[in-house]
């Protein structure tokens, strides 16, 4: 069956590359007969976003020609916290458990402060904490990823979790991001002012969902990915942008 990658990005004040403020983005993988519904979903996501009403919106639809890799989602653990400080300290502890030094974790959180200007993720050296992607304000966008139809709902049922579209999208992203040799961890929280949940994820420890990573009303959010220095950055970027990934419950490559 032919599958299509459907990508959306929306901005306010012109296109992103001309300085527009990022409003919303989204990725879907769908069969031909599903494209219309998926596009409607992405349009609604962009047009109803709490970051504002976009004046630029781009949709890209293309046939996937590369073989699709099937992955099972990272295991999810939820940590309930009431304060941002508590959430961020918890995140720091997980990053420490993954072997990152204090200075690198500090730098990672510093990079999170500029995620509002950077559209995609920021790649950081896991030993020095320096930025290594050279993508400027564009950053790195992980795309061509989704759940196989029906699998997220099945997975939620098995996990006794309420289906939540944010979790669905973030877990697909985090699973793809972590699925590359030499990637140590990802730190993320949303850029949506009304969504304060974030996570630290890694292939080894799974997806650690933390219920408060920023204050309500704060529009700063995004992703920092810590990678070992022996990773060839351009190959990893190519993987994130181009390799099609579908998530399926309990199935390995």
Q: Segment contacting ligand PML (CB under 6 A): 87-95, 96-104, 108-116, 159-167?
A: 159-167
Residues 6+ apart with CB under 8 A from 22: 9, 10, 11, 16, 51, 116, 119, 191
Does 21 participate in binding ligand PML (rule CB under 6 A)?
no
Total binding residues toward Mg ion, as defined by CB under 5 A: 4
53's contact among Mg ion, ligand PML, none, with CB below 5 to 8 A by partner kind, is: Mg ion
Q: Residue 188 binds which one of ligand PML, Mg ion, none, with CB within 5 to 8 A depending on kind? A: ligand PML
Residue 78 site contact among Mg ion, ligand PML, none (CB < 5 to 8 Å, cut-off depends on kind)? none
Contact (Cβ atoms closer than 8 angstroms) between residue 168 and residue 246:
no
Q: Is the sign of the CA dihedral 62, 243, 237, 101 positive or negative?
A: positive
Instruction: Please choose which of Mg ion, ligand PML, none residue 170 contacts, taking the beta carbon within 5 to 8 angstroms, the exact cut-off set by kind.
Output: ligand PML
97 binds, among Mg ion, ligand PML, none (CB under 5 to 8 A by kind): none
Least CB distance to ligand PML at residue 79 (A): 11
Interatomic CA distance for residues 201 and 178, integer angstroms: 7
Using the rule CB under 5 A, give the single segment among 4-12, 53-61, 167-175, 209-217 that binds Mg ion. 53-61
Site for Mg ion in 188-207 (CB under 5 A): 191
Nearest distance in Å: CB 209, ligand PML: 5
Which residue lies nearer to ligand PML by CB, 126 or 197?
197
Contact call for residue 197 and ligand PML (CB under 6 A):
yes
- Interacting residue with ligand PML among 198, 206, 227, 237 (CB under 6 A): 198
Among 28, 115, 143, 243, binds Mg ion (CB under 5 A): 115
Min dist. Cβ of residue 46 to Mg ion (A): 9
Binding site for ligand PML (CB under 6 A): 164, 166-167, 170, 188, 190-192, 195, 197-199, 209
């Amino acid at each position: 069956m032919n599958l299509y990658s459907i990508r959306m990005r929306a901005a306010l004040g012109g296109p992103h590359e001309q300085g527009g403020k990022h409003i919303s983005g989204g990725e879907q993988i769908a069969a031909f007969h599903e494209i219309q519904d998926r596009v409607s979903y992405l349009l609604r996501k962009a047009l109803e976003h709490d970051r504002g009403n976009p004046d630029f919106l781009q949709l890209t639809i293309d046939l996937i020609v590369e073989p699709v890799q099937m992955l099972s989602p990272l295991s999810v653990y939820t940590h309930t916290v009431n304060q941002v400080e508590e959430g961020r300290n918890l995140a720091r502890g997980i990053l420490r458990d993954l072997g990152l030094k204090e200075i690198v974790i500090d730098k990672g959180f510093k990079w999170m402060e500029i995620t509002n200007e950077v559209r995609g993720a920021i790649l950081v050296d896991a030993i020095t904490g320096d930025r290594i992607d050279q993508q400027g304000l564009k950053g790195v966008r992980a795309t061509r990823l989704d759940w196989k139809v029906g699998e997220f709902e099945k997975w939620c049922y098995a996990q006794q979790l309420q289906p939540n579209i944010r979790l669905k999208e973030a877990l697909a992203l985090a699973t793809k991001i972590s699925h590359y040799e030499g990637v140590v961890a990802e730190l993320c929280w949303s850029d949506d002012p009304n969504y304060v949940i974030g996570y630290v994820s890694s292939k080894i420890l799974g997806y650690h969902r933390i219920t408060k990573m920023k204050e309500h009303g704060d529009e700063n959010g995004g992703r920092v990915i810590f990678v070992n220095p022996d990773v060839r950055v351009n190959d990893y970027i190519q993987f994130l942008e181009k390799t099609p990934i579908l998530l399926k419950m309990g199935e390995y490559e």
